[in-house]
Structure 1
Amino acid sequence: MEMYRKDLALPYLGRYPIYTVAGEICYRYSQTLFFKIAKIIYERYDDEGYQYVFEPYYDVIDGLCDIDYGGIPGIDLSLRKPKYYRADATPVFISERTPSETRVDVRDLIMEAGLEYLNRLEWLVKTDHSYSGDRLIVKNMEFNNYTSINEVESQWYALSILKMLGMRQPITILGKSFPDHLRAPFIRLYLIEYAIQSRKRLANQRIGQEDAKDGGIYRGRKPIATSVTALHSAYEAVRAGRMTVAEAMQATGLSRTTLYRRFKRLDAMQSD
């Protein structure tokens, strides 16, 4: 356990640093969805001592328990500490995703990030380079990709709610405000909802594309809109015995083989 490690230097407490850099560690769920999971601070002191401080956001972390985001390398979050200190040592999280002072091209990497000298946390905040070992990135303290609630479509509604929750913004859902201690359960709930809506949307897109192919109006990746509503209506009518397969073929304009294939897809969606 971390609390018994002998190699951890005592933290610098009660002293004022002469230089500070801060950022926020984010879990990148997708290209547009991020969850802030911790604040990370670098502090340097007048005697050349330094330390890194990790401040976990447990209100977000606890909401990610169902997706196995991997935690923060080198930090035992099960201890539930409000702060984790790494004094006079470079923590694993920093060392594995930033260049060392001895790297051959370190000067080029420093200049690319717009820096005059290497501060590894500041470089991590400003660089465009990404670490491939996990889905954690470091953003500046002003980072916020939440704008507003999107009520146009269920999938995008769930996504916008998740952005609000992941950016640790005040929680307002359906015009009602909620306390911060509900952030984690809301994250778990809307991750499930977002996944369900994403699968449904993808299934409908595939049905529309294949219908368009049957009609000779689909070329490559640009699907032309078709009547998914008519297919669903025929599906429900056949299941209820109100329509024969032949009538469903006529109503949808699909061949028997294609119609059965569409119905099979809808059966799979129903079982989800």
Structure 2
Amino acid sequence: MSTYVRTDWVARNEYTTPIKEVPIYRNSGIIKAVTKENEKIQVGRITYEEFENEEFQYIISPFWPIIDTLSTRVFQGIPGIDMDLRLDHYYRVNYVPVFITERTPGSSREDLWELLDSVGLDYYDRLEWLIRTDLRAAIDNLIVERAREEAVSKKVENARDLKACIESGQYGDEIIIENISSLGTDSRSCVKMLNRLMHYGIRLKSKQEKINLNVEDYKSWMPVLEGMFQMDEQLRKRQQKKGIALAKEKGKYKGRKRKEIDDKFLEKIISRFQKKEIPLEEALLATGLSKSTFYRRIKENQ
């Protein structure tokens, strides 16, 4: 099922009518919604263009296939544009859109050049400043990171390379794997990996199974894999229950042992996670803890 995008909308004034000339300067960033787990979900692209006659325009292009999968808890829209219109591109011609004015310094600020210098800029480009700065707007969970102009296609051999490709990936990229087992060792890890690919807008090709998935295809695959995961979980729990019952009969069951981990190391990882220096996945990998156990240890350390 294709994503609905409106094609019959007509610009109503000079501020929303796109400039068709070739720009003399162009800059682009990817708008990302940052979750509590520090996952950066790509929700759109913002482009700034300047022209020889000193006119300029901003173009905001929502990634609708990704946006349509998100809850309002994660994404509440891009400020300053009417998301209900569902346009491919929103143009703001010769004026700065709300999304930029809300999170970048205006030209009249007394400390403007100090702010520009703080990110290594010697010219005034509000989008470039937003891309370079570490400062975050308190009004929402949106950030902007630098965009590549062209999509890339990469072949990966293992799970580690796959994760690295996803982290550096961009909407429209393509990852090629030899077979579906590269996604994970079980249905749960496969669901998790497909979910990340979907949130990054990365297409997936599996050579052995002849699978070719774009962002919209993930929507139909996820329920199937989640169903498989539930079946795996139910089977695992039944086997675990039988094992516990048998151990109790033999008087050998003592309950699950608390996983031992160095307290100072754990405190360091928790601190880095809370400061958003590392994502949840990296924290779990470093500690060897499950998500629920990791959050329980955070509460214990408070």
TM over 0.5: yes
Conserved 8 A contact 2:203-2:214? yes
User: How many angstroms does 1:12 deviate by?
Assistant: 3.7
Distance in 1, Cα, partners of 2:72 & 2:223: 10
The residue number in structure 1 matching 2:15 is 9
| Equivalent residue for 1:101, pick from 104, 107, 116 | 107
Distance in 2, Cα, partners of 1:138 & 1:25: 5
Spell out, residue by residue over 1:1-20, the C-alpha distance to the aligned partner (whole angstroms, 9 max, x if none): xx899786243432222211
| Equivalent residue for 1:73, pick from 73, 79, 89 | 79
| Equivalent residue for 2:203, pick from 167, 170, 181 | 170
1:242-261 to 2 correspondence within 5 Å? 247=248, 250-253=251-254
Distance in 2, Cα, partners of 1:56 & 1:234: 46
Change (3 A) 1:62 1:178: farther
Change (3 A) 1:75 1:175: farther
The residue number in structure 1 matching 2:157 is none
Conserved 8 A contact 1:61-1:184? no
| Equivalent residue for 1:159, pick from 192, 212, 223 | 192
1:14-93 to 2 correspondence within 5 Å? 14-31=20-37, 33-65=39-71, 67-93=73-99
The residue number in structure 1 matching 2:158 is none
**Cα RMSD (Å) of the superposition?**
3.9
Q: Bigger radius of gyration, 1 or 2?
A: 1
Q: How many residues align?
A: 214
Change (3 A) 1:105 1:150: farther
Query: Structure 2: which 5+ residue stretches go unaligned?
Result: 1-8, 149-164, 170-174, 256-302
Distance in 1, Cα, partners of 2:220 & 2:40: 15
| Equivalent residue for 2:129, pick from 99, 123, 127 | 123
Distance in 2, Cα, partners of 1:187 & 1:45: 44
Structure 1 residue runs of 4 or more that deviate by more than 4 Å after TM superposition: 3-8, 65-68, 146-150, 152-156, 173-176, 186-190, 231-238
Q: Which TM-score applies when normalising by structure 2?
A: 0.57
Conserved 8 A contact 2:191-2:222? no
Q: Kindly provide the amino acid, as one letter, of the partner of residue 82 in structure 2.
A: D
Distance in 2, Cα, partners of 1:111 & 1:153: 49
Instruction: Tell me whether 1:185 sits opposite 2:188 in the alignment.
Output: no
Change (3 A) 1:237 1:188: closer
Spell out, residue by residue over 1:11-66, the C-alpha distance to the aligned partner (whole angstroms, 9 max, x if none): 34322222111111112235553222211111112222211111121111111147
Distance in 2, Cα, partners of 1:158 & 1:188: 7
Spell out, residue by residue over 1:122-142, the C-alpha distance to the aligned partner (whole angstroms, 9 max, x if none): 111121222222121111113
Distance in 1, Cα, partners of 2:83 & 2:221: 19
User: How many angstroms does 1:187 deviate by?
Assistant: 8.7
Distance in 1, Cα, partners of 2:135 & 2:58: 21
